[in-house]
Structure 1
Amino acid sequence: MTRVAVFQPTTGIDPAANTAALVKAIEKTAAGGGTMLFTPEMSGLLDRDAKRASSALREPERDEVLSACRDAAAKHGLWLHIGSLAVLTSNGKVANRAFVIDAAGEIRATYDKIHLFDVDLPTGESWRESNVYAAGDRAVVVDDTPVGRLGLTICYDLRFPDLFARLAEAGADSIAVPAAFTVPTGMAHWHVLLRARAIEAGLFVIAAAQVGHHEDGRNTFGHSLVVDPWGEVLLDLGDQPGLGFVEIDRARIADVRSRVPALAHRRSIPNVTHQ
């Protein structure tokens, strides 16, 4: 059994305040016996004002949030999955990038969000991630984490089951789904999609989420979840900020896959014919 923690914040527009909250969550995870902490999408800054947010953007090696989190992980000897940070890339664009940091504070892996969310909602809200972010171009599995082989996704990736299938086929034991889901889409789809992805792939899904009313005016759904390979919800943090702990038993994966060996039966689908 592996004890991990999930952090559900209401991230704001001040990176220093957000950093302090992350470091405190790392400290609480260590005090609670956790071996790894999972945080949501945009853990360092959540700001829909692109001009204001741009002043806080840095390359990863200069990002103060990332540096402080690495130091705290090393100090307390635990692993950390930063769901994502907005960082500048070498070509001057912005990446929505996840970081996996080991117990020595070293960056073991990164993942740039592949699927970008562009939509006009019936509520009048408009989201255009592609206006700011460059899409990632590779799927990532991190070996030898406290939860075994960890597959990486971010938020909107949840709606693309092929990505989860590829990660499962690559040997993932768990898949992280950090998110900042809107309230309407969260109420309709969050639980059912996360449970479906866990069932389809026969593994654990660990989904740290943003929650509440944010300084930039948005509202996020919360309900950070941990789902086991059978689709059972092991942890649901509800609609308030907080930190939750859960025990991960990787033996559950083999048990479930022996009863429903769908992953082993997966086949390449031929071209569709119209008749």
Structure 2
Amino acid sequence: MDHPSKVIAIQMCSGVEPSVNYQYLVRQLEELNLQQPALVCLPEAWLAFCHTSQDSVILSATNTYWITKLKLLCRNYGIWLAAGTIALPHDNERYVAASLLFNDTGDIVAQYNKMHLFDVDVDDNTQGYRESSHCAAGTEVKVVDSPFGRIGLSVCYDVRFPGLYQKMVDQGAQLLLIPSAFTTVTGAAHWQPLLQARAIETQCYVVAAAQVGIHENGRKTFGHSLILSPWGTVLADAKGTCGAVQGDIDLAELMQIRTKMPVQAHNRFKSEFYE
């Protein structure tokens, strides 16, 4: 890639009905009026932010319909699409939070299943989250080639585990995707520091598309979708509103940063956890 390319994070306040969330995506793509190759990134649970995890299990059986529609969108708009997460079947009682990456001809070039599941207590209106009750954890690190550089796929709670991102860099990652639905409590305290740490320590671009606002299911999410440079600079921040933010990926700048400060060559603690 000789010239900078465009990355876009679409911030959403997804509801429980897939058709409504899908139409919001279509409206955003129409308004963007893209004139160059672009990577469009969606938040975690963008297609359906369900009332219960059991609802996600039920929906997972029919979500291939929406995947077919996303393939058509990519072809029609000429975009690459990182489709946040979509619930796909694992077994009769569980789903996987699948992050699908589509190319501009509508092919799925990668599927990453969220590895770290959010089983925590938070001082918000929900109080506690037990994602593992109906979601099965993924097991594979995913780094793939694209016109925007080598992309490493991850999801939300993954951002707290730097060993995963070190493994991605070991596999050549240059752009990290972190679609999320951070709570307002954890988001206010940790969202931007965690993302900047991942960008700085890996010397990668980071695109983190997020959910925002008060949702039909009662959840409250933090927003502030971010695009970060390999130096940790905030290139775009969606703050507290729905909509799209854009930034440029410049691999020449990335290589310059890595050449001047060869962190990976100096690293004496290579991750072995994900071997």
What TM-score, normalized to structure 1? 0.92
1:10 and 2:25 matched: no
Task: Describe the SS at the equivalent of 1:148.
Answer: coil
Alpha-carbon distance in 1 for matches of 2:116, 2:45: 15
Contact 2:120 2:130 (8 Å CA) reproduced: yes
Task: Describe the SS at the equivalent of 2:239.
Answer: coil
1:133 and 2:135 matched: yes
Aligned residues: percent identity? 37
For structure 1, the residue ranges without an aligned partner over 5 or more in a row are 271-275
Alpha-carbon distance in 1 for matches of 2:251, 2:91: 38
Task: Please give the residue correspondences for 1:31-70 in structure 2 after superposition, counting only pairs within 5 Å.
Answer: 31=34, 33=36, 35-58=38-61, 63-70=64-71
1:27 and 2:30 matched: yes
Q: Which amino acid aligns with 1:72?
A: L
Task: Describe the SS at the equivalent of 2:230.
Answer: coil
Alpha-carbon distance in 1 for matches of 2:147, 2:28: 18
- What's the Cα RMSD here? 1.8
2:247 is matched with: 246
Q: Which amino acid aligns with 1:104?
A: T
Task: Describe the SS at the equivalent of 1:119.
Answer: strand
Alpha-carbon distance in 1 for matches of 2:147, 2:81: 10
Contact 1:222 1:238 (8 Å CA) reproduced: yes
Alpha-carbon distance in 1 for matches of 2:6, 2:15: 28
CA shift for structure 1 position 232: 0.4
What TM-score, normalized to structure 2? 0.92
1:267 is matched with: 268
1:273 is matched with: none
From 119, 127, 144, the equivalent of 1:142 is 144
Alpha-carbon distance in 1 for matches of 2:153, 2:53: 26
Alpha-carbon distance in 2 for matches of 1:52, 1:81: 23
2:192 is matched with: 191
CA shift for structure 1 position 100: 0.4
CA shift for structure 1 position 90: 5.8
**After the TM superposition, which of the residue ranges 33-42 and 207-216 deviates more from structure 2?**
33-42
CA shift for structure 1 position 229: 0.7
Following TM superposition, where does structure 1 have runs of at least 4 consecutive aligned residues deviating by more than 6 angstroms?
A: none
